[in-house]
Amino acid sequence: MAVAARKTKAPAQAKTATKGAAKASSAKTPAEKGAANALSNMPAFTREEDLHAYYEMLLIRRFEEKAGQMYGMGLIGGFCHLYIGQEAVVIGMQMASKDGDQVITGYRDHGHMLATGMESRGVMAELTGRRGGYSKGKGGSMHMFSREKNFYGGHGIVGAQVSLGAGLGFANWYREDGRVSMTYFGDGAANQGQVYESFNMAQLWKLPVVFVIENNRYAMGTSVNRASAQTDFSKRGLSFSIPGEQVDGMDVRAVRAAGERAIAHARSGKGPYILEMQTYRYRGHSMSDPAKYRSKDEVQRMREEHDPIEQVRGRLTRDFKIAEDELKAIDAKIREIVNDAAEFATHDPEPDVSELFTDITLEHARA
C-alpha cells in the first residue's frame, strides 16, 4: 500500500536518464581515460583530501598484503579475495557519501569494510577464524557485517548483493530517511538475471540506490570481452532508463566526483544510478589463482601507469610539497595498525565449540 502511495509521488525522470546514457556512449578505455584525466579539468582535491585518500587507500593495500601473507602461512583458510588495485573505488565513493549511507558488496570485501570504518583487528580475526572476528570467527572472509558501520556484507553468491542492495534502497525509501544504498558488484556479476530484476524495481519505485559496477576486466579467469555482449556497463540500465557513467576507477578524484553526482541523484528521489568503475585487480581472483589468463606485462603496466595510490602520492609530493618523511610516517602508522591486527588475529582464541549452536535459525525456532 505504501508502495503504491509513494510511487505516485515520484517524478518521471526520462530526461535525466537519456542524458546520462548518451554521455556514457562516448566513454574511453581506462588507459585512454587515465591519460585524458591528467589533462582534463578533473576536480582537484585539497591537501587534506589527498592525505585522507592516501591514508585510507594505503590502509587497504597494506591490510590486503598482510592478509595475503597470512594466507600463505596457513593462518587463513577457505577463500580469500584481495582488493589490491581497486582501492580508489571504495574510498572515492565513501568520500562522496554521508553517514548513514549503506554499503553492500560481494566476496572481495575487506576494502569495503575498512572504508566504512570497521576495525582492522575484527576483520583480520574473522579471516583467521578467531572469536574476536566480526562474525565471532564463524563466517570468514565473505561473511562479515556491521550494522553500526552500515556494512551489509560480504556475499559469496555472485550477484546476490544486488537484490539485497535494492532492498536496502527500498527500506530507505519506505522510511524516508534520506539514506542511499551503495551496491557494489563485479563485471561478471553484471550478467546475472537478478541484477536486471533489481534494476527494474529500483527504477520503477525510484529507490535511492547507486549501483557501483567494479569492472576489473575479469570474472575469475574470464576476460570481460569473452563473457559480456555489452562491455559498456554504464549502458546496462538503458532498458530501465537508469542513467549511467563510465568512470576512471583508478583515479580517486574521478570516483568521488562521479559518486557525488550519482548519490545526489539517488538521494533527491530521482531513483537509481549506475557507475561503471573501470578498475583492475593486481592479484589473482582469489589466493588460489595463479592468474595465467593474462600477461605479467598487463599487470605491470597497470601498476606502473595507473596505480591509484601512486597517483595520490605523486600529487602529495609534487603539488603539496609533502616531505618524504611525512609520507613514511603515515606508512609506519598504517603498518603498526596492520601488524597489530595480524598479531591479534594470530593469538586470539578460536570460538568455543558451543558457538556451533548459536546464531543459527534453529536457535530461534526452539525459543
Ligand X SMILES: Cc1ncc(C[n+]2csc(CCOP(=O)(O)OP(=O)(O)O)c2C)c(N)n1
Residues that bind Mg ion in the complex, under the rule CB under 5 A: 186-187, 216, 219
Nearest to 200 by CA among 241, 240, 242, 160: 240
What whole-number distance in Å separates Cα of residue 254 and Cα of residue 249? 7
Stretch that binds ligand X, among 114-122, 137-145, 185-193, 351-359 (CB under 6 A): 185-193
87 in contact with ligand X (CB under 6 A): no
If contact means CB under 5 to 8 A according to the sort of partner, which of Mg ion, ligand X, none does residue 108 touch?
ligand X
Q: Which does 133 bind (CB under 5 to 8 A by kind): ligand X, Mg ion, none?
A: none
Binding mask 143-172 for ligand X (x = CB under 6 A): -------------xxx--------------
Does 186 bind ligand X (CB under 6 A)? Our answer is: yes
**Among Mg ion, ligand X, none, residue 202 binds (CB under 5-8 Å by kind):** none
Closest CA to 138 of 344, 339, 338, 360: 360
Query: Using CB under 6 A, which of 216, 228, 234, 278 touches ligand X?
Result: 216
Q: Is 126 exposed, middle or buried (0-12, 13-18, 19+ CB in 10 A)?
A: buried
Contacts of 263 (CB under 8 A, 6+ apart): 96, 97, 98, 101, 180, 182, 210, 273
Shortest spacing between CB 351 and Mg ion, in angstroms: 32
Cα pseudo-dihedral 167, 173, 175, 176, rounded to 10: 160
Considering only 12, 36, 204, 220, the residue that binds ligand X (CB under 6 A) is 220
Residue 156's binding partner out of Mg ion, ligand X, none, with CB under 5 to 8 Å set by partner kind: ligand X
- 3-class secondary structure for 78-132? CCCCCCCCCHHHHHHHHHHCCCCCEEECCCCCHHHHHHCCCCHHHHHHHHCCCCC
Binding to ligand X, residues 225-254 (CB under 6 A): none
**Nearest to ligand X of 143, 267 (CB atom):** 143
Q: Pairing state of beta strands 181-186 and 102-104?
A: parallel
Residue placing its CB nearer to ligand X in the complex, 30 or 186: 186
Q: How many residues sit in the footprint of ligand X (CB under 6 A)?
A: 14
- Considering the complex, state which of residue 187 and residue 245 has its C-beta at the smaller distance from Mg ion: 187
189 binds ligand X (CB under 6 A): yes
Return the residues of window 243-302 that contact ligand X according to CB under 6 A.
285
Which cell numbers in the block locate residue 17? 536518464
C-beta pairs of 260-265 under 8 Å, 24+ apart in sequence: 260/96, 262/96, 262/210, 263/96, 263/97, 263/98, 263/101, 263/180, 263/182, 263/210, 265/16
Which is closer to ligand X, CB of 187 or CB of 245?
Answer: 187
β-pairing verdict for 244-248 and 273-278 = parallel
The residue from 207, 219, 247, 255 that contacts ligand X (CB under 6 A) is 219
Q: Out of 50, 56, 187, 276, which residue is the one contacting ligand X (CB under 6 A)?
A: 187
Query: Which residues in this chain contact ligand X in the complex, by CB under 6 A?
Result: 108, 156-158, 186-189, 214, 216, 218-220, 285
